[in-house]
Amino acid sequence: MKVTNYISEAFSELKTNVTWPEWAEVQRLAVIVAVFSIVFALLTFGIDRGFEVLVANIYSALKN
C-alpha cells in the first residue's frame, strides 16, 4: 500500500507543482544538446585519431 501511495503522490506532484517548459523550448534545447553532442563526439574522435597516429609513429621510429 505504501508503494502505491508513493507513486500516486509522485504523479500528483508532477501534475501540480512542476513547471513544464513549452514545446518550442524543449525542441530548441534538444537541438542544442544534439549539436553539442555531435561536436563533442567529433572532437573526441579527432583527439583519439591523433594519438593513434602519434603512437604509431613513435613505435615505427623505435622499431627501425
The DSSP 8-state label assigned to residue 21 in this structure reads: P
* Across 34-46, average pLDDT: 98
Global pTM value: 0.66
Q: Given pLDDT bands bounded at 50, 70 and 90, which one contains residue 64?
A: confident
pLDDT given at position 1:
78
CA distance readout (Å), 3 to 7, 12, 15 = 6, 14, 19
Q: What's the number of CA atoms in the CB half-sphere (13 Å) around residue 56?
A: 6
Q: What is the pLDDT of residues 11-39, one digit of tens each?
A: 999 999 989 899 999 999 999 999 999 99
Q: How far apart are CA 2 and CA 4, in angstroms?
A: 5
Where exactly are the structural domains of the chain?
Answer: 21-64
